[in-house]
Amino acid sequence: MARAFKSTPRGFTARLDTTERDLLRGLFEDVAQVLAPGHDGEAPAGEVDPLWAMVGMDPRTHAAGFAAPTDAAERRLLPDAVRDDPEAALEYRRLTETSLRETKTGNLKAAALAMETGNLVFDTAAANQFAQALNDVRLVLAERLELRDEADAERIADMTDARNVGDVDEYLALLYNFVTWLQETLMQALLGDL
């Protein structure tokens, strides 16, 4: 049974059992997969031209057919930065999307690695990074659960008992609530230390 995050002299600590860690590791890896270029018919990651790499740019985002992601979960992770102006949003995306994918993927991979042990101990920077990974997992689960408004949120929040799980959506809701609980305890610990 998981123990909530708390702030201690050693850092931010929590305890997770093997099943919980396996579940979370799977979720972190799944979301990293959503962010991998090429998973959704986009240009796959190929060899990066050293000149592009040198200026920190990605030729894929400057290619003629470059567009915002079509997968809803991926789009929620990489949202438009300009409202009601697709052209300006795409321009911003060209310059920032690769870096945002890398940041998020790095957070998720670090979080997956942290699942190697049941006793989590994070310094503030690592706790911050873990919180971002948990949040991205929640965003993707929420998209799969079609969580759109507060009423949906209340419906999903009721699913907290594994014995009541009857279908995939109920299972996803259970996972969502577990990740939400863990993130909330981490937030209370981090906020208490600010």
Partner 1 sequence: MTTATDVLPRGETSERLDLDIPYVLLVWNDPVNLMSYVSYVFRSHFGYSQSKADALMMEVHQQGHSVVATGTLEKIEADVAAMHSYGLWATFQRADQG
Residues that bind partner 1 (CB under 8 A): 77-83, 92, 96, 99-100, 103-104, 107, 128, 131-132, 135-136, 138-139, 142, 147-150, 152-153, 180, 183-184, 187-188, 190-191, 194
| Alpha helices (runs of H) in 38-167, residue ranges in sequence order | 50-54, 72-77, 86-114, 124-144, 150-157
How many whole angstroms from its chain centre is CA 57? 23
Q: Kindly state the DSSP code that residue 44 receives in the 8-state scheme.
A: P
User: Which of residues 10 and 83 has its CB atom nearest to partner 1 in the complex?
Assistant: 83
User: Which of residues 48 and 81 has its CB atom nearest to partner 1 in the complex?
Assistant: 81
User: Which of residues 66 and 118 has its CB atom nearest to partner 1 in the complex?
Assistant: 66
- State the nearest-atom distance from the C-beta of 97 to partner 1, in Å: 9
HSE-CB at 46 with a 13 A cutoff on CA atoms is 9
**Across the strands, what pairs with 3?**
15
Distance of alpha carbon 31 from alpha carbon 108, whole angstroms: 8
- State the nearest-atom distance from the C-beta of 158 to partner 1, in Å: 15
- State the nearest-atom distance from the C-beta of 64 to partner 1, in Å: 24
User: Which of residues 4 and 118 has its CB atom nearest to partner 1 in the complex?
Assistant: 4
- State the nearest-atom distance from the C-beta of 18 to partner 1, in Å: 26
- Which residues make Cβ contacts (< 8 Å) with residue 156, sequence separation at least 6? 145, 147, 173, 176, 177
- Distances, alpha carbon 66 to alpha carbons 45, 93, 111, 123, 160, in Å: 14, 9, 30, 38, 41
- State the nearest-atom distance from the C-beta of 163 to partner 1, in Å: 26
User: Which of residues 44 and 86 has its CB atom nearest to partner 1 in the complex?
Assistant: 86
